[in-house]
């Protein structure tokens, strides 16, 4: 039997913040940060589109699973919660005024 390969753990922003998609965990400074299902899904969605602007409508459609009809602030609430939990890496989640959100890792 072959030994099981370790799942990929990806840096998100700094060496202090790691995203483990296979275990659905965020690790900050070696400590697991508790994320809701939506928080994790939004973070992973933005991470997978690093450097690209993602509209609120795309987030709602692809993560929440429904079409955006305006007036909802659920995306903003989740982004805000993620920024609080990311601490020093919060700057990786950027708001692009009038367009949506972008994840960028520092170079």
β-sheet with 31-33: strand ranges across: 10-12, 14-20, 25-28, 31-33
- Where is average pLDDT lowest: 15-19, 53-57, 63-67, 79-83? 15-19
* Per-residue pLDDT tens over the stretch 3-23: 555 556 666 655 677 888 888
Query: Which domains, ranges and CATH numbers included, belong to the chain?
Result: 35-103 (1.10.10.10)
33 has pLDDT over 60: yes
Q: pTM for this one?
A: 0.81
Q: What CA–CA distances, in Å, run from 35 to 14, 41, 61?
A: 18, 9, 20
- What does the block give as tokens for 85? 């939990």
The phi, psi pair for 2, rounded to 5°, reads -80, 140
């Amino acid at each position: 039997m072959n030994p099981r390969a370790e799942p990929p753990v990806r840096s998100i922003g700094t060496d202090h913040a790691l995203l483990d998609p296979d275990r659905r965990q965020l690790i900050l400074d070696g400590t697991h940060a508790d994320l809701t299902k939506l928080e994790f899904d939004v973070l992973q969605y933005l991470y997978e589109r690093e450097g690209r602007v993602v509209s609120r409508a795309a987030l709602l459609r692809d993560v929440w699973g429904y079409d955006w009809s305006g007036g909802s602030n659920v995306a903003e609430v989740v982004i805000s919660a993620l920024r609080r939990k990311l601490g020093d890496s919060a700057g990786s989640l950027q708001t692009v005024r009038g367009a949506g959100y972008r994840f960028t890792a520092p170079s």
